[in-house]
Structure 1
Amino acid sequence: MIINHPLLGPRDSSEFVYLGDASLIERPDWEGETAPADFHDYAYLRENPAGWHRELWFHEGGDRSWLVVTRNTITHEISNVEMARDVARSKGGSK
């Protein structure tokens, strides 16, 4: 599978490590009233969709960047690759 890195161009997926659902970018508020339950769900509950899914990938064998890859889990077709920092900033994640 080829991942089209936004900065480095097409790279073989063997350079990357899959790290799970891209919703992990949105961490719960550790000061919230429901923080224990929120962090339990954050750490242990995951979707396992068949079809299009946004995933976190780490470029371990390269520039060590984090990417959000939109991939079809059935066909492995990739429709979009974004820098995870840009995704987090667009959601208000970097404060």
Structure 2
Amino acid sequence: MAKITYIEHDGTEHSVDAKNGSSVMEAAIRENVPGIDADCGGACACATCHVYVDASFMDKVGAPNDMEQSMLDFAEGVESNSRLSCQITVKDDLDGLIVRMPESQT
């Protein structure tokens, strides 16, 4: 299990306990975190779960695969630390993960 902190664009924080094997998106949906809409349900077919990963966790979450990168190409405000939260699998070494939501998802 990992504690994940989601930060809305206005600075509001939501910390949740996420089960290993679930996605960062699934944990947000389960806890009703605003700004993670997940319109496609985690199928990597939209970008409504776009997040900015804290720099200290970039190596742990890794780079997006080709399919995720294609979806990020349609997202607003993409940065070098952008990921789709549906594509980040929760594991013990993500304990303390911080993700921020872009302004477009408020």
Considering fraction of residues, name the structure with more strand: 1
Bigger Rg, which one: 1
- Asked which structure has the greater RCO (Cα within 8 Å, sep 6+), the reply is 2
